[in-house]
Amino acid sequence: MIIEYCKQQDNFFDILPAKNFLPQWYTCIKNDENINAKMCMPFLDSFLTGYIVQSSYDIDVENGNVVSKNVAIREPKTIQTPTGYFEKEYMWSFLYNIKIENNYSILITHPLNRYDLPFITLSGIVDVDDIMVHGSLTFFIKNGFSGKIVAGTPVAQLIPIKRESWELFYNNNLKEIGKNRYLKSSFTKNLYRNNFWHRKEYK
């Protein structure tokens, strides 16, 4: 599957595979220090899935106020502020176009499990069968943060999703299947990684 994109301006955002953005705090965890975090494949997959939008310029923040001509503030404010963040509603201006094959959408969200970042980007899903034109995405600055969001910081994660019709069905037989797998995992090291996990590729 191919994702095509182009930037409208060269001094804004870049898009790169998410695997290039493993956070330093994660890579510094020793296996014997926190085995659940470092050896958990679902947790690792959250960092590796899709693509990252990274800032290509520095963004100065003073007491919750973004000082950058490349970041817009939404007036009047339209979304309830997440707990722990300044009231002002800012917008990343994503000046690029994206296209995938028919029946695909893109989930645009805050970089998964990156709560160490001094902001939070809200989420949206965009259908990109034809083309996704440039737009904006809301973000909020974390309370108490003053400093610089340096160039190269991941500001959003793009995850392609195929649109299909789904139906929720209650299946009581899964109870026994799940019980058996749980018992097996108690005696088998790395059961999920070695038997159920599938490698994903985003180049």
Mean per-residue pLDDT for 111-125?
Answer: 96
Residue 180: CB atoms within 10 Å: 10
Interval 126-143 mean pLDDT: 85
pLDDT tens-place string over residues 78-114: 889 999 999 999 998 887 788 888 899 999 999 999 9
Cis peptide before 76 (omega within 30 of 0): yes
Q: By the 8 A CB rule, do 58 and 150 touch?
A: yes
Q: What is the pLDDT of residue 23?
A: 94
What whole-number percentage of the chain has pLDDT above 70? 91
CA distance 144 to 154: 20
Distance, in Å, from the CA atom of 12 to the CA atom of 22, rounded to the nearest integer, reads 22
- Residue 21 is which amino acid? F
Q: Is the pLDDT of residue 58 over 70?
A: yes
The whole-number pLDDT of residue 119 equals 97
pLDDT at 29: 83
* Confidence (pLDDT) at 187: 62
pTM exceeding the 0.85 threshold for the entire prediction = yes
Kindly list the structural domains of the chain, giving each domain's residue range(s) and its CATH number in brackets, ordered by start.
4-164 (2.70.40)
Output the pLDDT for position 56: 85
Three-state SS at 188: coil
